[in-house]
Copies of this chain bind each other. A is one copy, B any other.
Amino acid sequence: MSRPNPLSPVGRETLQDRVYAELRRSLMNGMFDAGQMLRIQDLAEILQTSTMPVREALGRLVSEQALEALPNRSVRVPVITLEKLDDLARARCLIEGELVRLALRHLTAPDFSELRALTERCDAAFAEHGKDVAHATSELNHSFHFHIYRAARSAVLIPIVESLWLQSGPYIRVAAQVHDAEIDISATHHHWGLIAALERRDTVAAVRALTDDITRSFNLIRRRLDAPETTNTRTAKYG
């Protein structure tokens, strides 16, 4: 076995894993309304499986605080309150700030290239202004942040941040969708500032840029919560 092996390990994901990934993706993309009930059988029918993988995936998402288990034994998408929103924002600033601090000493030149490329693609997506900007930029935004976080090499903090994104992600997405380019222009501003601060190893400035970025996106939701009558009322049950 001296020469490099051309075969990569074949993924052996279980059916439950696929259901979990699909539900998670839909949640992140804001496909479900806040407060919406999720029925096992409905989801199983849509996903074309039996109820078993669905109920285990739902249980997993409840454990991660991504879904809410009511005393009635039904599961729903949590409804966000202003207090919980502030709570989430504070937690994200605290933990993701620490991750940036930890990542700083591990980031090297190729990382910065990658981060710049991601941010450029984000800018391009905004400029293009296609129909599905929010979806594209949201994935790019996720890649950008977690590329930094992975550099921190903290097996403990990463799952926590994933859970926090899962809790706040849906609302941020929906909020970002309805806002126009007015704010989008400044969307990548903090990303560029963060990259610059990281490159000159300026911890304080880097954490500052990150927390500003997080705060900015949460302010989008806060506006939506203050004006709830403009809530997008979806007729279809499952997006």
**Which residues of A approach B to under 8 Å, CB–CB?**
12, 14, 55-56, 59-60, 63-65, 71, 73, 84, 87-88, 90-91, 94-95, 98, 154-157, 159-160, 163-164, 167
Further pairs besides A56-B59, A87-B156, A87-B157: 5, Cβ < 8 Å: A87-B155, A90-B154, A91-B157, A94-B98, A160-B163
Q: Which of B55, B90, B156 contacts A164 (CB 8 A)?
A: B156
How near does chain B come to A100, taking the closest CB pair, in angstroms? 13
Could you say which residues of chain B place their CB within 8 Å of the CB of A71? 12
Q: Could you tell me the distance between the alpha carbons of A120 and B91 in the complex, rounded to whole angstroms?
A: 33
Could you say which residues of chain B place their CB within 8 Å of the CB of A164? 156
Query: Is B156's CB under 8 angstroms from A88's CB?
Result: yes
Could you say which residues of chain B place their CB within 8 Å of the CB of A60? 59-60, 63
Interface of A is mostly: helix
Could you say which residues of chain B place their CB within 8 Å of the CB of A88? 156
Could you say which residues of chain B place their CB within 8 Å of the CB of A155? 84, 87
Q: Could you tell me the distance between the alpha carbons of A184 and B91 in the complex, rounded to whole angstroms?
A: 33
Query: Is B95's CB under 8 angstroms from A94's CB?
Result: yes
Decide yes or no: A87 and B154 within 8 Å by CB, A94-B94, A159-B65 being known contacts. yes
Q: Could you tell me the distance between the alpha carbons of A163 and B163 in the complex, rounded to whole angstroms?
A: 12
Q: Could you tell me the distance between the alpha carbons of A131 and B84 in the complex, rounded to whole angstroms?
A: 44
Query: Is B56's CB under 8 angstroms from A14's CB?
Result: no
Q: Could you tell me the distance between the alpha carbons of A94 and B60 in the complex, rounded to whole angstroms?
A: 26
Could you say which residues of chain B place their CB within 8 Å of the CB of A84? 155-156
Q: Could you tell me the distance between the alpha carbons of A65 and B156 in the complex, rounded to whole angstroms?
A: 9
Smallest CB-CB A-B distances: 10 pairs = A63-B63, A87-B156, A91-B156, A60-B63, A87-B154, A88-B156, A94-B98, A160-B160, A56-B59, A91-B157
How near does chain B come to A78, taking the closest CB pair, in angstroms? 10
